[in-house]
Structure 1
Amino acid sequence: MKVICGYNVNIDAVYTITGEDISDLLKMVDKDELLEKICDAPGEIRSIADLVAGLVLHMQKGTGAEWFIYSDDVFHFLKSRYYEKSEIRLGGNMGIMANVMSRMGADQVVMNAVGDIDTIKSLMSGGNIILAGASLASTSSTSVDASEVIHFVFDFSSGTRFDVFGNDVIVPRENRFIATYDDINTELSITPEFEEYSREHVTEMDGAIISGFNQLQQCYHDGSGYIERFEKAHAQLKDWKARDPELPIHVELGHFMSMGMGVYIFTELAGTVDSIGMNEDELVMLTELHGVPSDMILKMDACAIMDACVRCISTTGLKKIVLHTRDFIMSIFRKGFSTSPREVPSMQFGVMCAAAFAAFGKLPGRSQLEGSVRDLARSEKGVDQARKLQDLIGGEMLEGGICGDYGGFSVCILPTIICERPVSTVGLGDTVSSATFLRWLELH
């Protein structure tokens, strides 16, 4: 398989944060200021108090999030305190997905290579990647060193305990909080080399998988907004479709800075691309489109999630949504675009890749994949939700998944394979999505 892959790549500094780490950080901030920020989350990092508020807020809920750093002082504090103690990986949705597909058997992955290519190359785990690009420097005036594109990924584990000014906190589930310092991917930079190569070779490709729209900012230092940057990338996708109408394009949505951005970009993309992948938090951002209560979605209620996805597809020209959660993966698609015998094996492959990555922090060779997850169990909650969904849609069992119809669409759900003590949670969504897409292309 030959796949085009865009747009965002960066360096991930992955650090497992402990209760003791949080206690040390709490000593550095004012109590009243922190409590105010926890109650009214800033959603961005301009001070140490913002950073600690984000960590505490999401650790106590067990939820994942990404907040951007808009302070050079905070960036240098994080780099000096955590970088040397972190595991350094290739990051960014595109970077992770390109690595996965190359490792798991893609013949060629054409990658929009922004940033420091030498560092990117050193962190690649597979071959067959064409780096279509050159090092880019940001023109932003806010960064001391614009060549630094580091995302600090704070993994936290279920059961981690710490005290917040007399209140005992126990983390309910594993997840991660990301503090992002990045002036390149926020511009949704596309290299001239990537533009030229993809334009010339798009008809030779089997598919395209795109991400990075969630890195866009509401407002930039020059006073402009995100729409013009989005439209440049959107125009490229439209051009690919014009040159090859049969090219399958999948987009990973990501978590946006505002619901308005999420709804706008989803709606615009839905008329161009074939499928969009997301998790439950990202589906909540589309409440304006589907109207399903957020609490039901965040509880990972499969029936509510299916209903919300069907409504999102129904109001757009989109052909498929792939919804991935900790406990199950679900595909909702228009009849004629795909089939259940193609969807379930694809999702199964994606689930196995994500489980192996969670368990070992890297992917095994493809021939060792099934054996590497043999001792891991299916999510009990995922199995339960699949049964509840079957009660609603009927359908049949297919290779461990449930397949049926709802609202005129085909629906497949498959419980995930759970690693109770993951090495890392970052990149699991990108891993399951890219592996699922690769296998889906192979089964065409």
Structure 2
Amino acid sequence: MKILCGYNVNIDAVYKITGEEISDLMEIVDMEELLENIRDAPGEIRSISDLVAGLVLHMQKDTGAEWFIYSDDVFHFLKSRYYGKSEIRLGGNMGIMANVMSHMGADQVVMNAVGDIEGIKPLMSGGNIIFSGKSVPQDASTSKDANEIIHFVFDFSSGTRFDLFGTEVIVARENRFIATYDDINTELTITHEFEEYSREHVTEMDGAIISGFNQLQKCYPDGSGYTARFEKAHSQLKDWKARNPDLPIHVEFGHFMSVDMGVSIFTELSGTVDSIGMNEDELVMLTELHGVPSDMIRKMDACAILDACVKCASSTGLKKIVLHTRDFIMGIFRKGTSTPLREMRSMQFGVMCAAAFAASGKLPERSQLEDSVSGLARSEEGIRQAGKLQDLIGGEQFEGGVCGEYRDFLVCILPTIICEKPVSTVGLGDTVSSATFLRWLELGGNGKG
């Protein structure tokens, strides 16, 4: 398989934060300011108080989030306090997905290589990658190193406890809070080399997987909005489709800084790409399109999630949504675009890759994939949700999951394989989506072969 990959890659500094460390951070900020920031979340980081508020808020809610850092001082505080103690990993949806597909058997993966490429290359375990780009030279006129794209990923575990000024907080499930310092991916930078290579070779490609739209900013320092940057990337996807109408394009969605942006970009992309992948938090952002109560989605209720996905696809014309959660993965797709067997086998491959990565923090060789997850079990909650969905749609058990029909769509749900003590939750969604997409292409894609 030959696959195009855009647009975002970065370096992740992954740090497992404890309750004691949260308490230490609370001691260095003003209590009233912190409580105000928790009550009225800024959604971005311009002070240490903003940072602590984001951590506390999402540990309370057991949700993942990504806030951007707009302060050099906060960045240097984080770098000096945590970078040396962190696990340095490949980051960025596109970077992770390109690495997964290359490692797991793709013949050629063409990356939109931005930022510190020489620093990123050693973090990639896969071969057969074409790096279409070059490192950006350092610009002495700016306060940032032009290549500095570090995302501080704070993993938190279930059972973590800390005292919030007299109220005990107990984290119910593992997740992560990401503090992002990045002026390259926020521009949705597309290298000249990637533009030229993809234009010349798109007819030879078997598929394309795209991400990074969630890095766009609502407003930039020059006063402009995200529209022009989005349209440049969207035009590239349209051009690929014009040159190669059979090219399957999958987009991995991500957490947007505003609901309006998320809804607008989802709607625009749905008319161009073939499938969009997301998690339950990202589906909540699309409430305007589906109207399903967010609490039902966040509870990972499979029936509510199915209803929301079908309404999103129906209202926008999208062919397929892949929804991945901790406990199950679900694919809803229009009849004639794929088959239940192809969907289930590709999702099974994706689930195994994600479980193997969660358990060890690295991908196994493909020949050892099944052995690497043999000691892990299917999610009991995922099995329960698959049963609920079967009751709703009248589907049948198939390839370890359930398949059926719902409102002119075919639907497949598969319980995930759970690692109770994951090395990290970072990149699991990207891993499952990209591995699923790779296997889907191998099995024929688009109902072919």
- Could you say which TM-score interval applies, normalised by the shorter chain? over 0.9
- Comparing 224-233 with 133-142, greater Cα deviation is found at 133-142
CA contact (8 A) 1:393 1:404 kept: yes
Q: Does 1:421 align with 2:418?
A: no
Pairwise mapping of residues 23-42 of structure 1 onto structure 2 (< 5 A)? 23-42=23-42
Deviation at residue 143 of structure 1 after TM alignment: 3.8
CA contact (8 A) 1:354 1:432 kept: yes
CA contact (8 A) 2:139 2:145 kept: no
Q: Deviations over 1:126-158 (max 9, x none)?
A: 100000011125889874333211000000110
Q: Deviations over 1:40-72 (max 9, x none)?
A: 111000000000000011112211000000000
Provide the secondary structure at the position in 1 that maps to 2:429. helix
Provide the secondary structure at the position in 1 that maps to 2:237. helix
Deviation at residue 117 of structure 1 after TM alignment: 1.1
The aligned amino acid for 1:109 is V
**CA 1:258–1:17: 2 relative to 1, 3 Å:** same
CA distance in 2, matches of 1:214, 1:40: 22
Pairwise mapping of residues 104-253 of structure 1 onto structure 2 (< 5 A)? 104-136=104-136, 143-253=143-253
Q: In structure 2, what is the equivalent of residue 316 of structure 1?
A: 316
Provide the secondary structure at the position in 1 that maps to 2:316. coil
Q: In structure 1, what is the equivalent of residue 277 of structure 2?
A: 277
CA contact (8 A) 2:138 2:145 kept: no
Q: In structure 1, what is the equivalent of residue 395 of structure 2?
A: 395
CA contact (8 A) 2:14 2:88 kept: yes
Q: In structure 1, what is the equivalent of residue 81 of structure 2?
A: 81
CA distance in 1, matches of 2:141, 2:42: 22
Unaligned runs of 5+ in 1: none
CA distance in 2, matches of 1:250, 1:282: 16
Q: Deviations over 1:13-64 (max 9, x none)?
A: 0000011111110110111111111111110000000000000111122110
CA contact (8 A) 1:137 1:184 kept: no
The aligned amino acid for 1:190 is I
CA distance in 2, matches of 1:145, 1:439: 38
Deviation at residue 241 of structure 1 after TM alignment: 0.1
Provide the secondary structure at the position in 2 that maps to 1:288. helix
Q: In structure 1, what is the equivalent of residue 337 of structure 2?
A: 337
CA distance in 1, matches of 2:34, 2:138: 32
CA distance in 1, matches of 2:140, 2:244: 36
CA distance in 1, matches of 2:291, 2:140: 38
Q: Deviations over 1:303-347 (max 9, x none)?
A: 010001101111122110000000100000000000000000100
The aligned amino acid for 1:374 is S
The aligned amino acid for 1:295 is D
Q: In structure 2, what is the equivalent of residue 431 of structure 1?
A: 431
CA distance in 2, matches of 1:122, 1:324: 29
CA contact (8 A) 1:140 1:221 kept: no
Provide the secondary structure at the position in 1 that maps to 2:34. helix
CA contact (8 A) 1:378 1:416 kept: yes
CA contact (8 A) 1:136 1:184 kept: no
The aligned amino acid for 1:28 is I
CA distance in 2, matches of 1:140, 1:230: 28
Q: Does 1:57 align with 2:57?
A: yes
The aligned amino acid for 1:213 is F
The aligned amino acid for 1:170 is I
Pairwise mapping of residues 380-391 of structure 1 onto structure 2 (< 5 A)? 380-391=380-391
Q: Deviations over 1:368-410 (max 9, x none)?
A: 1111111111111110000000001012111101000000100
The aligned amino acid for 2:244 is D
Q: In structure 2, what is the equivalent of residue 267 of structure 1?
A: 267
Provide the secondary structure at the position in 2 that maps to 1:217. coil
Deviation at residue 166 of structure 1 after TM alignment: 1.5
Q: Deviations over 1:109-138 (max 9, x none)?
A: 000000011111111111000000111258
Provide the secondary structure at the position in 1 that maps to 2:434. helix
Provide the secondary structure at the position in 1 that maps to 2:357. helix
Pairwise mapping of residues 372-387 of structure 1 onto structure 2 (< 5 A)? 372-387=372-387
Provide the secondary structure at the position in 1 that maps to 2:177. strand
CA contact (8 A) 1:100 1:431 kept: yes
Q: In structure 1, what is the equivalent of residue 447 of structure 2?
A: none
The aligned amino acid for 2:174 is E
CA distance in 1, matches of 2:443, 2:103: 18
CA distance in 1, matches of 2:141, 2:406: 51
Provide the secondary structure at the position in 2 that maps to 1:246. coil
**CA 1:443–1:138: 2 relative to 1, 3 Å:** farther
Unaligned runs of 5+ in 2: 445-449
The aligned amino acid for 2:397 is M
CA distance in 1, matches of 2:164, 2:142: 32
CA distance in 2, matches of 1:222, 1:389: 49
CA contact (8 A) 1:115 1:137 kept: no
CA distance in 1, matches of 2:141, 2:96: 29
CA contact (8 A) 2:319 2:333 kept: yes
- Aligned-residue Cα RMSD (Å) equals 1.1
